[in-house]
Amino acid sequence: MPGQMKILEYDVLVIGGGIAGGESALNLANLGYNVLLVEKELSIGGKMILLSKVFPTLDCGACITTPKISEIARHPNITIFTGAEIRIITKKGEHLFEAIVSQNPRYVNIDDCTGCQLCEEACPVSVIDEYQYGLVGRKAAYIPFSIASPRAAAIDIENCTLCGACERVCPTQCIDFTQTVEEFLVKVKSVVVATGFELFDPLKIPRYGYDKFKNVTTAMHMERQLSPTRPFNSILRPGDGKLPDNIAYVLCAGSRDKSVGNPICSQVCCMYSIKQAQLLMGALPMADVTIYYLHIRAFGKGFNEFYAQSQDMGVEFIKGKIGKITEKENGNLILRYEDIEKGKVTEAEHDMVVLSIGLLPNQGISDVFDNETLQLDPFHFVDQSDILASPAKTSIEGVFVAGTASGPMDIPDSILSGGAASAETTSYLRRAAL
């Protein structure tokens, strides 16, 4: 009931606390605007904070993300809601939007939590850790991941048995099971949509055997295994924990494929696969890495040189689309494919297969707009209404888009796009002030 909701006012609502939304929020805050950053996950940082090293410079993702995240978290002009969702946004007039934001209960008072992890040790419930993409387990009382911001515990109430163990050990009494969903009416002058992307679900390509064959994994799983906050401190194949020594990458898994409803190129898979191949050669010096590709899209600054470097390091590139994957008794996998350069259909055996899954739109954002339509493009990304002169503009005046919400892009492009969205927002807000 709106009458009882707490009313909050800001200049800008940024939806999504990934690297693009964060860049927009930070730029706007530095210019003196008050920003509300709403993130549905328990930590800001988006997908980037979970990555290992990033191409083509091989900087570690965490090293680049954490200081930005920390700057955002500390900024006096930025208020952050994590674990929160936008229910509805109504445009009330020029420079006036009203949003209902619901803050889901974390059952932990963030301000008092010291991140000591005693609750985690005490919790008897073990479930799959979604931030490690299911590679390991976590407790029902948990800190999302070691470099999360806020670095505070949360209670996963769906799995919690309400045993009270965490409450008893918490030294600051910050666990509070009485928290409920809290709704806020937020009044803002402008909105930045930075809702990011979703990963393609490899179950949609049954012939690749994901989930059926244990040693068929995705690039995001590999990313977690290679990252500084990795669960195993080594690369293990999922089926039996063996160190793999002959790894295959299958590019365009779910991209450039009309049969799964995604005809476009995901723009980053070639490069992240090449990067992972280079990192694997460091982590497993004896391993062979083969990349099966259609076209290598190494188009950005320093990308083609990075591709050439991987060839020099001994990564094998085979031009061909994988038709089918089958499993041998020992868990190894047989890849059947057309080797285009040799002109024949052939088979190869690998002990681990990584599907280079693509980027899909994070759908649902257009539904929250109440009285105006947030136009989507044919691929369900947010449509850029003036793509040449104002790439951040959307079909709704005063609503701007940043990062992969408008289409697949890499980190440098996302950050530039975040910068563009903040620029457009600034001039829109200036017009409000005049």
Partner 1 sequence: MKKKVGVYICHCGGNISDYVDVEKVRQSVESINGVYLAKTTMFACADSNQKDMVEDIREQNLDGVVVAACSPKLHLLTFRAVVERAGMNKYNFVHANIREQVSWAHSDNKTGATEKAIQIVKAAIAKVQNSEALEPVKVQATKAVAVIGAGVAGMRAAIELAEAGSEVYLIERSFFVGGRIAQWDNICGTEETGKELVTRLYDEVIKHKHVTLFTGAEVIENRGSVGNFMLKVKVTPRYFKLPCSDGKLQEAIDVCPVIVPDEFNFNITSRKAIYHNYPSEYPQLPAIDMENCTRCGKCENVCSSIDFTQKTEYLNLKVGSVLLATGYDPYEPKKGEFAYGEIDHVVTLPQFKRIVHYCDEKLSYKGKDIKHIAYIYCVGSRQVDGENKYCSRYCCTVNIHTAITVKKKYKNIYNYHFNRGIRTYGKQEVWYDESSRLGDIYLQSFDNDPPVVEKRGDKILVKIKDVLTTDKQLEVVADLVVLVTGMVPRKDNSIGNLLKIPKGRDNFFNEIHMKLRPVETVIDGVTIAGASQGPKNVMESVNSALAAATKSFSLVDSGELALEPTVAEVDEQTCEWCGKCDEACPFNAFEKVEIEGKLIARVNPVVCKGCGMCLPVCPVNALNLIGLTDKDVENMISALIPND
- Window 259 to 298, contacts with partner 1 (CB under 8 A): 263-267, 282, 295-298
- Window 341 to 360, contacts with partner 1 (CB under 8 A): 341-343
- Window 111 to 140, contacts with partner 1 (CB under 8 A): 115
How near is the Cβ of 414 to partner 1 at its closest, in Å? 9
From 303, 357, 361, 365, residue interacting with partner 1 (rule: CB under 8 A): 303
From 89, 147, 160, 205, residue interacting with partner 1 (rule: CB under 8 A): 147
Stretch that binds partner 1, among 124-132, 193-201, 206-214, 387-395 (CB under 8 A): 387-395
Q: If binding is defined by CB under 8 A, does position 54 make contact with partner 1?
A: yes
Q: If binding is defined by CB under 8 A, does position 231 make contact with partner 1?
A: no
How near is the Cβ of 415 to partner 1 at its closest, in Å? 6
What's the number of CA atoms in the CB half-sphere (13 Å) around residue 180? 1
Q: If binding is defined by CB under 8 A, does position 37 make contact with partner 1?
A: no
From 27, 82, 195, 332, residue interacting with partner 1 (rule: CB under 8 A): 27
How near is the Cβ of 403 to partner 1 at its closest, in Å? 11
Q: If binding is defined by CB under 8 A, does position 70 make contact with partner 1?
A: yes
Distance CA 142, CA 147 (A): 13
- Window 84 to 113, contacts with partner 1 (CB under 8 A): none
* CA angle (64 as vertex; 63, 68 as ends), nearest 5: 115
From 5, 40, 66, 242, residue interacting with partner 1 (rule: CB under 8 A): 66
SS (H, E, C) the chain: CHHHCEEEECCEEEECCCHHHHHHHHHHHHCCCCEEEECCCCCCCCCHHHCCEECCCCEEHHHHHHHHHHHHHHCCCEEEECCEEEEEEEEEECCEEEEEEEECCCCECCCCCCCCCHHHHHCCCEEECHHHCCCCEEECEECCCCCCCCCCCEECCCCCCCCCHHHHHCCCCCECCCCCCEEEEEEECEEEECCCEEECCHHHCHHHCECCECCEEEHHHHHHHHCCCCCCCCCCCCCCCCCCCEEEEEEEECCCEHHHCECCCCCCHHHHHHHHHHHHHHHCCCCEEEEEECCCCCCCCCHHHHHHHHHHHCCEEEECCEEEEEECCCCCEEEEEEECCCCEEEEEEECEEEEEECEEECCCHHHHECCCCCCECCCCCECCCECCCECCECCCCCEEECHHHHCCCCHHHHHHHHHHHHHHHHHHHHHHHC
Q: If binding is defined by CB under 8 A, does position 300 make contact with partner 1?
A: yes
* Closer by beta carbon to partner 1, 2 or else 378: 378
From 40, 377, 395, 397, residue interacting with partner 1 (rule: CB under 8 A): 377
From 7, 128, 162, 308, residue interacting with partner 1 (rule: CB under 8 A): 308
Q: If binding is defined by CB under 8 A, does position 363 make contact with partner 1?
A: no
Stretch that binds partner 1, among 85-93, 161-169, 184-192, 258-266 (CB under 8 A): 258-266
How near is the Cβ of 305 to partner 1 at its closest, in Å? 5
Q: If binding is defined by CB under 8 A, does position 424 make contact with partner 1?
A: yes
How near is the Cβ of 25 to partner 1 at its closest, in Å? 12
Q: Burial, 169: exposed, middle or buried (Cβ in 10 Å; 0-12, 13-18, 19+)?
A: middle
- Window 176 to 195, contacts with partner 1 (CB under 8 A): none
* Closer by beta carbon to partner 1, 133 or else 303: 303
From 73, 101, 333, 335, residue interacting with partner 1 (rule: CB under 8 A): 73
Q: If binding is defined by CB under 8 A, does position 338 make contact with partner 1?
A: no
From 102, 179, 390, 395, residue interacting with partner 1 (rule: CB under 8 A): 390
Distance CA 87, CA 13 (A): 13
Q: How many residues belong to the site for partner 1 (CB under 8 A)?
A: 81
* Closer by beta carbon to partner 1, 184 or else 293: 293
